[in-house]
Amino acid sequence: MMLRLSCRSSALIALVCIVPLIKAQGIVIRQAQVIDGTGAPARRADVRVVATRIVQIAPSITASPNDTVIDAAGMVVAPGFIDLHNHSDRGLSDDPQAASQVSQGITTAVVGVDGSSSWPIADWVAKRRANPVAINLLTLVGHATVRSRAMAGGDYKRAAKPAEVDRMASLVDQAMREGAIGLSSGLEYEVGSYSTTPEVIALAKAAAVRGGLYMSHIRDEADRTFEAIEEVITIAREAGVPAHISHLKLGTAGVWGKAPDAVSMLAKARNSGLDITADCYPYDAWSSTITVLVPNKQYEDPVSVAKALADVGGPQNVLVTSCREHRDYEFQNLQQIAERKGKTAVDIFIEIVRSGGASVVGKAMQERDIRYFYAQPWILIASDGGIGMRHPRATGSFPKVLGRYVREAHWLPLEEAIRKMTSAPAARLGLKDRGVVREGALADLVIFDPKQVADQSTFAEPGKLSKGIQLVLVNGTAVWRDGQTTTARPGLVITGDELLSGRRK
């Protein structure tokens, strides 16, 4: 502060102003265990950040008088977590500080997922640049978003005609030119589910020719998961597109325990030269609309509904989290509601669908499958969460992996878990200078206590913030410190043209 005053007051003291250029005010993080994100073993080092970048990593750094010094003894310094699947698009407008996201160490998020994105992308980029948020953002363009435009008036419940597919492809091309990093699809959801595989191939091609990725919530996460995985492999091959399966899961009793089969199917495709990866969130329950339980879409057919409820292990495994027409159902499972109403769970299900639907949590994944997925270097960690989502993954995903699966259960080494949250997703996206702690890299950093870090959110309290993440820097500026957000909004919008052309598999 004194130097700045001197600069204004006298030309004579102008020489003093050179000093900040030589030793600019920075942040020195001392005595930290540096886990650099590459998978390399933790090492003791000091880290110096000036402006937006890491400028020095050394056994001991002498801080200059203007530096902010952070004693990080016993703490881990890691790259900020890069969330490949995040639903904060809308939430960020009301909550730009994104406490639920930065408190779990997220510094960069990919939005526009599951086939649904903002439109036009150019407007979204401009708006987010005019009103930045705490974290860096990238967006995909949604398949359902362009499909509902090309098949206007709600006339999307059918295969598209060739001219409509052409129209969608031109919209994808437009989105790519405006800054999207690729195409997302939600083939299990209402609009996307009516598409044929050739339609998706055509759109994935349009993204691929502009260097884009294809990220998919695949067509089925239940009994027909393997067919859905095969479809992604076909799309990757036919469109020549790098493909990524979002929130890989085996969601019904019929496919429980089959992670080795899913992995070998994908590994075979990868070995044949296709560029396919996946992510998996660390929860054994999903959250979606109640209708996804019934893949054949016979939502009012008692036989189909009964089969759907059996597939998740029974109606006690379906928790209603939001139901506009029946607020009294919220946070009760279908079994409890049925008993209270003196009806069958099948009847309750059909009543809910007829009255406008509900958001539900289905307790359906097996931990052994998640563990098997995490043992694969190319299956990464993403949250599928986001601001306001009523699922514990909205606030707890990354700390849950670090606390429960690394520290308590020893599923994977800390360095490997962090690699799956940092350099691996950075490489997948083609992000430059992020996802790694090294001199010259951008200072997206997380400092956490490896003995304390843990998720605290539950299905009853999905918004409860995680603990143990002490400090989060985005582009060199603190956004989370000592249990609260700062007022800073240093996040950047990163568009497709800013990414490296050569992505790693």
Q: Per CB under 5 A, which region of 89-97, 210-218, 231-239, 397-405 contacts Zn ion?
A: 210-218
Q: Which is nearer to Zn ion, 83 or 114 (CB)?
A: 114
Amino acid in position 194? Y
CA–CA separation, 29 and 48 (whole Å): 6
Q: Which is nearer to Zn ion, 33 or 185 (CB)?
A: 185
Footprint of Zn ion on 223-252 (CB under 5 A): none
Binding mask 261-300 toward Zn ion (x if CB under 5 A, else -) reads: ----------------------------------------
Binding mask 147-166 toward Zn ion (x if CB under 5 A, else -) reads: --------------------
Q: What minimum distance in Å lies between the beta carbon of 114 and Zn ion?
A: 4
- 233, 172, 179, 232: which is closest to 208 by C-alpha? 172
- Label residue 194 exposed, middle or buried (CB < 10 Å: 0-12, 13-18, 19+): middle
Q: Which is nearer to Zn ion, 148 or 184 (CB)?
A: 184
Q: Per CB under 5 A, which region of 13-21, 209-217, 386-394, 405-413 contacts Zn ion?
A: 209-217
Q: Which is nearer to Zn ion, 217 or 391 (CB)?
A: 217
Q: Looking at beta carbons, which pairs linking 295-298 to residues 24 or more positions away fall under 8 Å?
A: 295/188, 295/220, 295/222, 295/223, 295/224, 297/193
CA–CA separation, 239 and 233 (whole Å): 10
Non-local (6+) Cβ contacts of 187 within 8 A are 115, 143, 193, 195, 200, 216, 217, 218, 219, 228, 231
Q: Per CB under 5 A, which region of 169-177, 214-222, 424-432, 442-450 contacts Zn ion?
A: 214-222
# residues contacting Zn ion (CB under 5 A): 2
DSSP conformation class of 361: E
Q: Which is nearer to Zn ion, 114 or 231 (CB)?
A: 114
Q: What minimum distance in Å lies between the beta carbon of 24 and Zn ion?
A: 43
Q: What minimum distance in Å lies between the beta carbon of 70 and Zn ion?
A: 37
Shortest-Cβ-distance residue relative to Zn ion: 217
Q: Per CB under 5 A, which region of 139-147, 212-220, 327-335, 469-477 contacts Zn ion?
A: 212-220
Q: What minimum distance in Å lies between the beta carbon of 246 and Zn ion?
A: 5
CA–CA separation, 427 and 433 (whole Å): 10
DSSP sequence for 379-399: EEE---B-TT-SSTHHHHHHH
Q: Which is nearer to Zn ion, 245 or 471 (CB)?
A: 245
Q: What minimum distance in Å lies between the beta carbon of 91 and Zn ion?
A: 16
Q: What minimum distance in Å lies between the beta carbon of 65 and Zn ion?
A: 50
3-state DSSP helix/strand/coil % of the chain, to nearest 5: 35, 20, 40
Q: Per CB under 5 A, which region of 58-66, 217-225, 346-354, 455-463 contacts Zn ion?
A: 217-225
217 contributes a contact to Zn ion by CB under 5 A: yes
Q: Give the orientation angle of helix 345-354 with respect to helix 302-311, to 10 degrees.
A: 110
Q: Which is nearer to Zn ion, 217 or 420 (CB)?
A: 217
Q: What minimum distance in Å lies between the beta carbon of 87 and Zn ion?
A: 8
Non-local (6+) Cβ contacts of 248 within 8 A are 262, 278, 279, 280, 373, 379
Footprint of Zn ion on 42-61 (CB under 5 A): none
Q: Which is nearer to Zn ion, 48 or 217 (CB)?
A: 217
Q: What minimum distance in Å lies between the beta carbon of 286 and Zn ion?
A: 9
Q: What minimum distance in Å lies between the beta carbon of 38 and Zn ion?
A: 29
- Label residue 348 exposed, middle or buried (CB < 10 Å: 0-12, 13-18, 19+): buried
Q: What minimum distance in Å lies between the beta carbon of 230 and Zn ion?
A: 19
Binding mask 82-121 toward Zn ion (x if CB under 5 A, else -) reads: --------------------------------x-------
Alpha helices in 131-161 (DSSP H): 143-150
Q: Which is nearer to Zn ion, 84 or 453 (CB)?
A: 84
CA–CA separation, 499 and 181 (whole Å): 8
Q: Which is nearer to Zn ion, 114 or 164 (CB)?
A: 114
Task: Provide the edge-to-edge strand list for the sheet that holds 379-381.
Answer: 141-142, 182-186, 213-217, 243-245, 276-280, 379-381
Tokens read off for 468: 């143990």
CA–CA separation, 162 and 141 (whole Å): 20
144 backbone dihedrals φ, ψ, rounded to 5°:
-65, -35
Q: Which is nearer to Zn ion, 318 or 412 (CB)?
A: 318
CA–CA separation, 243 and 264 (whole Å): 16
Q: Which is nearer to Zn ion, 78 or 218 (CB)?
A: 218
Amino acid in position 283? Y
Q: What minimum distance in Å lies between the beta carbon of 251 and Zn ion?
A: 12
Q: Per CB under 5 A, which region of 46-54, 90-98, 215-223, 487-495 contacts Zn ion?
A: 215-223
Q: What minimum distance in Å lies between the beta carbon of 280 and Zn ion?
A: 12
Tokens read off for 364: 């359906």
Residues that bind Zn ion (CB under 5 A): 114, 217
